[in-house]
Each structure stands twice: as C-alpha cells, then as structure tokens.
C-alpha cells in the first residue's frame, strides 16, 4: 500500500509539474496574440545603455525612439503602430546573446536594431542566421559580418565597416605622410579588425609604413596611462586609435597630461558626443573621424532635427543618432516595399534599395548588404561648430567611392 501511495504521489507530482509547465508556457503566446490584436508591431533595440558603450548606446536609442514617435504620429506603418522595446546589453556579449534570443522568441520582434560593440554584434548576427530575423546594425561594424562566411542575408550594415573606416584614416595618413605608426585598439573583434583593415588600407594605398608598436587594452579599461607611456616611449610619428566612446574620452584627457598630442599625431573616432564630452579639452590638431557627421551637413532639416534633439535630451545627437535614424528609414522603406513585416520579405525588399533620409540618399548594396555611405574625417579645431562644440569639417575626402570595397568574390 505504501509503495502504491508513493507511485501515486510521483504521478501527482508529474501531473502538477506538467500543469505548471503548461501554465508557464502560456504568457509568451498570450503576448504574441495580444500584439496582433492591438495592431502594433514590435521592433527591438539591443544596446549597452550602461557600461563602457553607453555613450554610443543611449544616443542611438534616442534617435530610434524619435523616428518611431514621428512615424506613429503620422499614422504608423501598414496600418500598425510601431512599438520600440529598448534592451540594455550593458556592453556584455553574453547578455546581448540572451537578449537577442529574447527579442526573437519572446518579443516576436519584426526587426532587431543591433548593439554597439561587434563582440555583442557577433551574437546578434548568429540570431539573424538561426532564427531568420532581420538584424540591422548602425554601430557595430566588423566587416566579417558582411564580407566573410559570417554573412547572412538577414543582416544589414548601415555603418562604415572595419575596412571602410580605416581606409578613411589611411587616406589621411597618406596625405600627411605619416609612416612610423603605432596602433591602439580594444581587444575584441572590432579592435583587431579595425587595425587589420587600417594596415591593409595603407598597403593598398602603397604607403610604406613601419609599425613601431601595438596596444590592445580591454574595452572599458579604467585608465590608459601605461598604454600612453608605452606609445610615447616608441616615438611614433602618428598613432591610429581604434578606441572609442568613454574609452577615447578617458584616453584623451590622460594623454593631454602627458603632452601626448604635442609629441605625436593621433587619429581616432572623435564623434559629436565625444567632442561635446571633452568640451574645451578637445585636442585641436588631431585627426577625427565619425561614422555619422551630421554637424557637417548643411540641410535645414538636419539642423532642425539636431535642435529638437538638443531640446529634448539636453545634448546634441551623436553619429549613431543619425545612423540609427537612417537604419530605421531603411527598414520602413523595406516594409513598405514588401508590404509585410516578415523578415525574409523585408530583407529581400531592402537589398539594392536606395533609401531616402533627411541626411541624404544612400543605397543598400545587394551583394553584401553594406550601406553605401561615407566616413566623415577632418582635423579637430578649437573653433566651435555652429552647434557650440569643437568639431571639424571633412578635410579628407572619404566619400563612399573613396573607401568602398569590391563585392566579396565568394558570393
């Protein structure tokens, strides 16, 4: 009898657990049906809004949110309101991986707007492959995602990649005649790809350079003083910096104390946010480049957009606010063309499409889904821009035609 009772108890536990599992499984389907009945379509942005990549993550999200608000105010898309979910990956690839899965499986996102760092992006591209989910990057830029076997038709890059951006810098190095070179770049796939792309670009431009040293600090390193000392000890003519965001701001402030900018030339990704953060400490004379140099554009529409952004967020937009808006415009145009939110149909519709944005038109190349966009590169000046922060005019020509690569031969 006791044995029977135990078996009965086991069966009861099993049934109870099965019930719990079934009940547990219901919220996601309930959420999915709720989404359909309320006439909204969900898109997800996964970015580090805290941690080392926050200075790039937050302005990108703001740009997307403004674009979504504007679209919804004008009636939405295919009769539906667009709902933007913002997920914070804290700049952590592991978390980005979990969140991208959540975006697809739980939030049923129609499209995913990607992370800041390419280390997180690597996992989002995997999600694109695995779940056939449309992923658009407007910040992470490792060229491997569009040019190697990593490629998936579900991924689009609306940002100059790690071959294009270094080519822009290499053009500047060639023009200035800098050949004794040092590099400093974060120790992950973007950092390595950026430096690799830079050295390859120099070769392509027939610059006979000498590489006197390389530094690979961790992303979000608390200080760079040992790196700065090592660089100065090698007496390079110029330093190519792949570091960015808060790392670049920290590096710049510390380097100033070492008289770094009087001893060597420096080129790095000084965007609007970094220059605003640095204020009067912005290093005049360094070569700055940005992926979205909105402040160099003369369009009144862009000026109004920047002023409105400033009014709302208390700061001017970043490169990624601009690129995020451009990426969103691409998706909207793709959805309208496909007349569907289905990732496969939208992805097909976007290929080869010329996208109209307030920042100008650009084309999404069919062969690798890379946006044909320029890099903005110039010499940082103390003279403030029309927006009040130190900036630069694009004194080096890094148009798409000057930095583009041929389509990958394997595809």
Partner 1 sequence: MQPDVRTTLVTPPRRTRNISIVVVAVAALIVLALGPLVLSASLQFLMLTMIVYALFAVATNFLVGFSGLLSFGQAVFFGFGAYTAALLWTHGVPFWVGFIAAPFMAALVAAFVAVVSLRTSRLYFALLTLGFSQLAYEICDALYNFTGGETGIPGINIPNALSGNMANFEFVLLVAAVAALALYWVRRSSFGMALQAIRENPTRAEAVGIHIYWHHVLAYVIAGLVCGLAGVLYVVYQQQVSPSLLDWTTSGEPVLMAVLGGMGMYLGPAVGSFIYLFLQNYVGQFTVQWPLLVGAAVLILVIVYPRGFVGGLADAFGWIRRRLGAREMVAGEGSSP
The contact set with partner 1 (CB under 8 A) reads 2-3, 6-7, 9-11, 13-14, 17-18, 21-22, 24-25, 28-29, 88, 92-94, 97, 101-102, 105-106, 118-119, 122-123, 125-126, 129, 150, 186-189, 192, 216, 218-219
Alpha-carbon distance 61 to 93, whole Å?
A: 18
Rg for the chain, CA atoms, rounded: 23
What is the rounded CA–CA span in Å between residue 365 and residue 300? 28
Separation of first and last alpha carbons in the chain = 70
**Closer CB to partner 1, 61 or 321, in the complex:** 61
| Four-residue CA torsion sign, 124, 126, 131, 132 | positive
* Beta-strand pair 180-184/238-241: parallel
The two counts, helices (H) then strands (E), for the chain are 15, 15
Closer by beta carbon to partner 1, 57 or else 186: 186
65: buried, middle or exposed (CB in 10 Å: 19+, 13-18, 0-12)?
Answer: middle
CB 196, min distance to partner 1, A: 11
Of the pair 214, 225, the CB lying nearest partner 1 is at 214
> Minimum distance between the CB of residue 283 and partner 1, rounded to whole angstroms?
27
Q: Considering the complex, state which of residue 188 and residue 389 has its C-beta at the smaller distance from partner 1.
A: 188
Least gap, CB of 308 to partner 1 (angstroms): 29
Strands 390-391 and 381-384, by their bridges, are antiparallel
What distance in Å separates the CA atoms of residue 392 and residue 293, rounded to the nearest whole number? 9
Query: At closest approach, how far in Å is the CB of 189 from partner 1?
Result: 4
Between 83 and 180, CB nearer to partner 1: 83
What is the rounded CA–CA span in Å between residue 227 and residue 217? 8
Rounded least distance, CB 198 to partner 1, Å: 17
CB crowding 313-346: b at 16 or more within 10 Å, else e: eebbbbbbbbbbbbbbbbbbbbbeebeebebebb
Pick 24 or 308: Cβ nearer partner 1: 24
Nearest approach in angstroms of CB 168 to partner 1 is: 24
Q: List CB contacts of 236: < 8 A, sequence separation 6 or more.
A: 180, 181, 182, 212, 213, 264
Which of 14, 284 has the CB closer to partner 1? 14
- Shorter beta-carbon distance to partner 1: residue 100 or 276: 100
Determine the distance from the C-alpha atom of residue 182 to the mean position of all C-alpha atoms in its chain, rounded to a whole number: 25
Query: Between 20 and 281, whose beta carbon lies closer to partner 1?
Result: 20
- Give 3 or 73: the residue with its C-beta nearer to partner 1: 3
Residues 229-244 as b/e (b if ≥16 CB within 10 A, e otherwise) read: eebbebebbbbbbbbb
Spatial neighbors of 30 by CB under 8 A, at least 6 apart, are: none
Nearer to partner 1, 29 or 74 (CB): 29
Q: Is 387 helix (H, G, I), strand (E, B) or coil?
A: coil
Cα 174–chain centre separation: 27
What's the CA gap between 55 and 280, in Å, rounded? 18
């Amino acid at each position: 009898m006791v044995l029977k009772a135990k078996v009965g108890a086991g069966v009861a536990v099993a049934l109870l657990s099965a019930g719990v599992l079934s009940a547990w499984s219901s919220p996601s389907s309930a959420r999915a049906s709720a989404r359909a009945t309320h006439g909204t379509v969900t898109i997800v942005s996964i970015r580090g809004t805290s941690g080392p990549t926050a200075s790039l993550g937050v302005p990108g999200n703001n740009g997307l949110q403004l674009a979504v608000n504007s679209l919804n105010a004008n009636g939405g898309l295919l009769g539906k309101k667009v709902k933007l979910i913002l997920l914070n990956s804290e700049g952590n690839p592991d978390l980005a991986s979990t969140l991208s899965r959540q975006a697809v499986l739980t939030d049923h996102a129609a499209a995913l707007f990607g992370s800041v760092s390419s280390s997180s992006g690597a996992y989002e591209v995997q999600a694109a492959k695995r779940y056939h989910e449309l992923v658009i990057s407007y910040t992470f830029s490792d060229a491997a995602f569009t040019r190697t076997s990593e490629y998936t038709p579900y991924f689009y890059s609306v940002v100059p990649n790690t071959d294009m951006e270094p080519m822009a810098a290499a053009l500047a190095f060639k023009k200035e005649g800098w050949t004794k070179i040092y590099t400093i770049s974060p120790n992950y796939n973007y950092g390595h790809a950026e430096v690799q792309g830079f050295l390859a670009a120099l070769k392509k431009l027939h610059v006979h350079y000498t590489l006197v040293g390389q530094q690979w600090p961790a992303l979000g390193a608390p200080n760079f003083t040992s790196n700065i000392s090592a660089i100065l000890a090698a007496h390079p003519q110029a330093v190519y910096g792949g570091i960015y965001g808060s790392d670049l701001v920290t590096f710049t402030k510390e380097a100033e104390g070492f008289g770094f900018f009087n001893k060597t030339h420096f080129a790095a990704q000084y965007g609007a946010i970094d220059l605003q953060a640095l204020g009067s400490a912005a290093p005049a004379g360094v070569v700055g480049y940005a992926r979205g140099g909105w402040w160099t554009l003369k369009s009144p529409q862009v000026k109004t957009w920047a002023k409105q952004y400033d009014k709302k967020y208390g700061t001017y937009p970043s490169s990624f606010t601009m690129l995020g808006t451009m990426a969103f415009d691409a998706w909207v145009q793709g959805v309208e063309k496909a007349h569907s939110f289905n990732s496969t149909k939208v992805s097909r519709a976007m290929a080869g499409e010329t996208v109209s944005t307030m920042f100008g038109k650009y084309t999404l190349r069919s062969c690798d889904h890379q946006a044909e966009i320029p890099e903005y590169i110039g010499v940082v000046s103390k003279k403030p821009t029309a927006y009040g922060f130190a900036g630069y005019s694009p004194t080096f020509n890094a148009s798409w035609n000057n930095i583009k690569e041929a389509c990958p031969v394997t595809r």
